Structure 1
Amino acid sequence: MKKLYLLDDAIISPLGFSTKENIKAIQEGRSGLQLQQKPETIETSFYAGVIEESLLNAAFVGIGDIKKYTKLEKMMLLAVQQILAKNKDLDLNETALIIATTKGNINLLKDPGNFPENRLKLSELGQVIANFFGFAQTPIIVSNACISGGLGIAVARRLGGIGKIKNALVVGGDLVSDFVVSGFNSFQALSQEACKPFSKDRNGISLGEAATAMLVSTDKPESSGNIALIGDATVNDANHISGPSRTGEGLYQSIQKALKEAKISANEIDFLSAHGTATIYNDEMESMAFHRSSLQNTPLNSLKGYYGHTLGASALIESIITKHTMLNNELYSSKNFGELGVSKSLTIIQENQNMEINYALKTASGFGGCNLALVFKKE
């Protein structure tokens, strides 16, 4: 299997409208989570990371008509625009477009505005992005719950490995919609505080919205420092539609298969970017999978305290941050962590620190029992 190189990237989130702004916010310990009130949807307040649409429109007006595109489309288009602005010679006739999302324009169910009904379809979301920039190929849609963004990178690698593509633009995005808020509230999974991954006093997730894009290629760039995806695996634990395996079996198998494909052992992993949603069962399941994989001494963080859970975008955002973590040799703290609250020991990063990072592991898990592991190498 060929390596897949991570090239330019962009993040549109409450922390900023570029990767650089996002990393600066994380370095400074700033969170995009704020107290939200949606009395028409749920009675209690909750924390979430929401992009102010007036700021989004002010940024988008430079590239398109704000009335012709939904909020999610504007977020995704801005992210893609940043990539293409840096790669003016990129041949869009030969570049695959991979769209990763869980719900797409689900907010149109409640308020369609002037948009046609077909705008709800994920395929139509992909086509809007493709048509805006002139991508020739039909977009590939990846929608596999909360591993979607990371799975988009894995799909690009696998297509590259069999010679179907050379370059791909992977785009992820989701919104804090009423549909998603009411859904997680029905599970009693929404935290009324900013989420606290892996902490003893954690009590649920904080939601978030973001869009992100990454250009990837099977061709190694000429730059001095590169990050490559060298192993990936996804295993479904077949446990429950919303509850993860209590033993972490699916995630454990994903990690083992990814390490085997990468031809490295667990003790060579320098950094672990966890899913870390701050729900009782997810964090516990992850701790068991990491312990079974002999990763309990590997420095680990969750970025959910900065972004909230951005659903289909989360694993792509966290892969981008992992890439820059490796290039900068800088570990970022796991925000809001207090006292360890899972049954297996973990090495949670509690303050920013510098360390040589040559191999990193990114994991993600989601509804329906899906699990993902990605192994990155610095070259």
Structure 2
Amino acid sequence: MTKEIFITDYNCVTPVGFDVDSNWTALLEGKSGVALHKIIESQEPFYASMIDSEKLNKVFSENFENQDFTKLEQMLLLSLKPLIERQKITEDTLFILSTTKGNISLLKNQTELPEGVFLSKLAQKIADFFGFSTKPIVVSNACVSGVMAIAVAKNMIQAGKYKNAFVIAGDELSEFVISGFNSFQAIGSGPCKPYDKNRNGINIGEAAAAVYITSERSENEKFSFRVLGDSAINDANHISGPSRTGDGLYASIKNAMTEAHVSPEQIDFISAHGTATLYNDEMEAIAFNRMELERVPLNSMKGYYGHCLGASGLLESIISMEGALHNTLIPSKNFEEIGVSQPVNIITENKTSSIRYILKTASGFGGCNAAIVLEKC
């Protein structure tokens, strides 16, 4: 019999709150972290979701004595600390970091390569701080990294290599990332509008998130979610553009649901990728329809958090689970009029709903796609 895998704890640090409770309250009130910011001196301000550095420093100093950490490292440490205090690290505990760019900001104005810019060094620094004895694993596969990190933990534990895992994810706003998205005109002119007729691009965001994954539930846990199925498929469509037919995402969803033994009729909620670019949202709508999921309530969290890159999948999974605990569906912010060719059931207001099975999807550069199915226990 396949070993059951559970998520029993989580936390997040975002522009709208430094823990899950404050984030959930903000979402219920429709608050967004997306606002105008001037990040590159030579460019006009643009819409992004950014954590207040002064507030972050203040909260960090209240929780940690050592101040020798970058902004991203502070975010990661703050997100993971409450989980470490509630759970136990053993010699069989896995540590996974999900990120796309890590400490990329350390490269600015440097003539030599700083050691801290390597993702393996970032992971080891966080792991050493908390006393992990196992070698950290880095999952860095574009924007599906956060979802894939959950899948990697699940499969490693099921294979008997570890008994439990702490998974953290984080990315920060940087000139490097902004310049990259600007180069192919993907950044929206205003707050992003996933699936909307008038969508015209993404808002970049920053956040950190952490989950605890285990095969051994205890009676003291406040909640638990089974990770029933997962899949990651690369359709090799294009270096940055998503497949026009949704092949990779469709196959990822199908595989994950097959492993989970869950039918389309059983899915209660879809937490979609929803970047608000023209082609991503269209591709997702096609894939969902191919899987006969067009009637399932769906949202994108990008209108609240922006696109947080390697943190998005993990952060949005956490918000999905929190919604299931509260039996509440959060609307897809800024959506007004359907702008994709296939029908999708976009959530437009806070709704009370019984949520048992959650489908979380993600897609990213290079043709990567991923999906997981979660069950509220």
Q: For the superposition of Structure 1 and Structure 2, which TM-score range results when normalised by the shorter chain?
A: over 0.9
The CA distance in 2 between the partners of 1:80 and 1:62, in whole Å, is 15
- Residue in structure 1 matched with residue 152 of structure 2 by the alignment: 155
Aligned to 1:26: 27
1:325 Cα offset (Å): 1.4
Residue in 2 that maps onto 1:213: 210
Q: 1:249 aligns with which of 247, 260, 263?
A: 247
Question: What percent identity do the matched residue pairs reach?
Answer: 50
Letter in 1 for 2:140: S
* Partners of 1:149 and 1:313 within 8 A in 2: yes
Pair 1:7 & 2:4 matched: no
Whether 1:356 and 2:354 are equivalent positions in the alignment is yes
Residue 220 of structure 1: CA displacement?
2.9
SS of the residue corresponding to residue 360 of structure 1 reads: strand
* CA–CA separation in structure 1 for the residues paired with 2:245 and 2:350: 31
Pick aligned residue for 2:313 from 312, 315, 340: 315
Say which of 338, 348, 356 aligns to 1:340: 338
How far the C-alpha of 1:3 sits from its partner, in A, is: 2.7
Summarize the alignment of residues 319-330 of structure 1 with structure 2, pairs less than 5 Å apart.
319-330=317-328
1:16 aligns to what SS in structure 2? Answer: coil
The answer on whether the counterparts of 1:287 and 1:344 sit within 8 Å (CA) in structure 2 is yes
Supply the AA of the counterpart residue of 2:141: N
Structure 1 portions without partners, runs of 5+: none
Amino acid at match of 1:187: F
1:16 is matched with 17
CA RMSD across the alignment: 1.6
Query: What's the CA shift string for 1:256-301, capped at 9, x where partnerless?
Result: 0001101111111010000000000000000000010101000000
Q: Which residue of 1 aligns with 2:224?
A: 226
Larger CA deviation: 219-228 vs 243-252: 219-228
The one-character-per-residue Cα deviations of 1:102-159 (angstroms, maximum 9, x if unpaired) are 000001111569x981100000000110111111111100000001111111000000
Note the alpha carbon deviations across 1:313-361, whole angstroms, 9 max, x for none.
0000011011111121111111000100000001000001111111110
Matched, 1:177 2:177: no
Mapped to 1, the partners of 2:233 and 2:18 lie a distance apart of 33
Provide structure 2 residue ranges, at least 5 long, that are not aligned to the other structure: none
**Stretch of structure 1 that moved more, 221-230 or 56-65:** 221-230
Aligned length: 375
**Structure 1 position 233, deviation (Å):** 0.4
Q: Which residue of 2 aligns with 1:100?
A: 98
CA deviations on 1:28-75 (whole Å, 9 max, x unpaired) are: 10000110123435x343111111111111111134356411110011
Alignment of 1:76-91 (within 5 A): 76-87=76-87, 90-91=88-89
Aligned CA distance change for structure 1 residues 66 and 189 (closer, same or farther; 3 Å): farther
Instruction: Check 1:169–1:224 CA distance in 2 against 1; reply closer, same or farther (3 A cut).
Output: closer
Q: Does 1:190 align with 2:165?
A: no
TM normalised by structure 1 equals: 0.96
C-alpha separation between the residues in 2 aligned to 1:226 and 1:191?
A: 37
SS of 2:333's partner is coil
Contact 2:194 2:303 in 1 (8 A): yes
CA distance in 2, matches of 1:172, 1:39: 25
> What is residue 128 of structure 2 aligned with on the other side?
131
- Structure 1 segments of 4 or more deviating over 6 A? none
Tell me the SS of whatever aligns to 2:227.
strand
